[in-house]
Structure 1
């Protein structure tokens, strides 16, 4: 026979289990709410095929976009070995091969299941613009090999194009405002040409076919394209500046204030960001740390009057091309900012020379990717039905208590059966 205590415990456990079951059932019937699962990320690749090098930028944004535009962030940047793809005019296959190491890196970052839906673009700038003007057939061959190389990877390649200067500048503007949350010895018969922007003592032998008219050097009217020319640097800052100014049409016409070609431009006001070529041209001379304009002018003038031997000695890690072009590049940047955009000694302090903003490389590629996300359909987040957090916690506590009581009830039953199985002698 069961003892009264065991019988009471068993009845109490059964009653408690019943009550808990009813409570859990009522919690399940309480109003639920619609919850969105975390949005998955999308990826995009943009090649910046410049004149000196090619870089691949890997971008990522949530699939559910804000106001139709992806909130794009930079995941990684990879610089391809060698020079820009335009330098492969006589070896088009080499242009495609140069991109593969960066594409391999991108495949390690982008999840395998998303690679085939990753939009990939290549935008070419100054180098390919010039090659297309000089030899459109070679430019097409380079693009064909680039497309062939990218096509070997499981990405959605959407083509290569040459960006205009306006497009490059516009996309760069978008990038900055988005990140700021506002939005050999020559032969005796070699002819000589003087170059005021090259350091004194610098020499370079080229053929007439390799030389094109520029503000600093005019190609002689020679009938022989194979004639050797010796370019001699003379290091004349004033002559270099005068030659560079010929690149700009600074006449305002009827407008009292303009930037270029008579187009109205209001006086400069507020803070400005100088990036890409403007940054690199002055950073080479350590002039991007907010130095006053007087010091910038003096430093550029001092470098431009230096001898070739001196600049090689003082900057031993710089390449020959960097040392040769530094005077011309910095003079161009200064002319653009002062005569072109109208900065002066006062407003110069408002220019911030930078390579990155909030840890992201500044250039046209981010703005390009932001613009293109408008053409990529936004995904609707997957939704699930779920209990409120407080109800879910209460249900879990009730279920745990029910399990404990169930074990207790089973233990009482086992003990009861065990005790009733003995036979008295």
Structure 2
């Protein structure tokens, strides 16, 4: 399974034993940068960028099993943002390139831009499969999944309602998952444009729009989420360039800008809503006392600063406040943390966004604990394992060594 993400591509080579339930025996993982979307005007170069990953796949799968080991390339929101013509050209070149290898492509949808709903649900399958929560004995104990990529963010959970009369509102957010002849009714939503990279652009542009006339006159805009006196040139939608100047104003002032990008005042046609006018059952009311798992950028930004793998939303806010204040003492014991904070001027902005996504966007209470992990039981988290398990069901190939 190749994950063609917005910031890079990753290969996962899974080895299963399959009798009734698939049992994961081994995983080979490797990633590289940049992603396919970086080659928007050169589809052939995009396809060839996968060569190191394909070489790993060939080395990892015994020759006698290669002809019946299906392969898929699933692109995510980064490629979707290029538009249909450019993304179709890249996917066509990728499929043509894969055909030069012995692995069968996993059907018509073996090379595609994955729907955001599938991305979130596959991540949910991965986590709950690795936690053992998909067994019949664990029904009603599934974990919720919050994934944060570069271009989009997903939420998936299995809500429970207090009375039989209450249920989930009908709509695209409702996902009926049939796994091993067991039915799970999930809530899912993928917010395109709310991944960290896209949100960062929106947060910076928010100040430009707020000071539009001043920006046009002087070409400069002050930003509270950036370190004091830090300067950065930013291209605007109309083709002009504005210089952002950091004020180092701190977490509270930064939060005031970031809250604006969540569009909390957008019309909520069917309530309750989380943000941007999107319906979501209340996590407080329909998902009590069960695990919340946060992944990808949640992990990448908190773990290098010495955070534990389980922390409260409030503790994430406290970490954010310390970083935005420019404090160094709390991080002196963490190898590489001070250098990382020095090299990344967006750290205050990014952490403030993460905290507000959970607290203000999804309305998770401050005392609620969340867990983060890059691996569970030795396997990478994310959507790839879940998608591969689904691929096993769809491509029943039998190998005879």
Question: Is 1:284–1:326's contact at 8 Å kept on the other side of the alignment?
Answer: no
Separation (CA, whole Å) in 1 of partners of 2:227 and 2:116? 29
Question: Is 1:196–1:233's contact at 8 Å kept on the other side of the alignment?
Answer: yes
Secondary structure of 2:12's partner? strand
Q: Deviations over 1:206-257 (max 9, x none)?
A: 4335xxxxxxxxxxxx4xx2x3332323334234323333343557969886
How large is the Cα RMSD of the aligned pairs? 3.3
Q: Which has the higher contact order (CA 8 A, sep 6+)?
A: 1
Separation (CA, whole Å) in 2 of partners of 1:300 and 1:366? 32
Pairing 1:67-78 to 2, within 5 Å after superposition: 70-78=22-30
Matched, 1:277 2:297: yes
Pairing 1:333-348 to 2, within 5 Å after superposition: 333-348=354-369
Aligned residue pairs, count: 303
Matched, 1:194 2:222: yes
Matched, 1:114 2:65: yes
Q: 1:49 aligns to what?
A: 4
| Residues 1:277 and 1:167: Cα distance change in structure 2 (over 3 Å) | farther
With normalisation by structure 2, the TM-score equals 0.66
| Residues 1:156 and 1:379: Cα distance change in structure 2 (over 3 Å) | closer
Q: Which of 1 and 2 has greater Rg? A: 1
Question: Is 2:226–2:346's contact at 8 Å kept on the other side of the alignment?
Answer: yes
Matched, 1:246 2:246: no
Structure in which a larger fraction of residues adopt strand: 2
With normalisation by structure 1, the TM-score equals 0.62
Q: 2:97 aligns to what?
A: 149
Matched, 1:372 2:391: yes
Q: Deviations over 1:358-391 (max 9, x none)?
A: 0100001111111121112275999xxxxxxxxx
Q: 2:76 aligns to what?
A: 125
TM-aligned CA deviation for residue 58 of structure 1: 0.5
Secondary structure of 1:306's partner? coil
Secondary structure of 1:120's partner? coil
TM-aligned CA deviation for residue 280 of structure 1: 1.9
Matched, 1:331 2:348: no
Q: Deviations over 1:82-123 (max 9, x none)?
A: 222111223433322221112111111111122122211111
TM-aligned CA deviation for residue 175 of structure 1: 0.5
TM-aligned CA deviation for residue 319 of structure 1: 9.2
TM-aligned CA deviation for residue 57 of structure 1: 0.4
Separation (CA, whole Å) in 2 of partners of 1:117 and 1:319? 49
Q: 1:58 aligns to what?
A: 13
Q: Deviations over 1:333-381 (max 9, x none)?
A: 2122223333334322xx2111110010000111111112111227599
Q: Which runs of 5+ in 2 are unaligned?
A: 135-216
Q: 2:212 aligns to what?
A: none
Q: Deviations over 1:43-88 (max 9, x none)?
A: xxx11111222110001223x441xx533444200112x2221112
Pairing 1:1-16 to 2, within 5 Å after superposition: none
Question: Is 2:313–2:358's contact at 8 Å kept on the other side of the alignment?
Answer: no
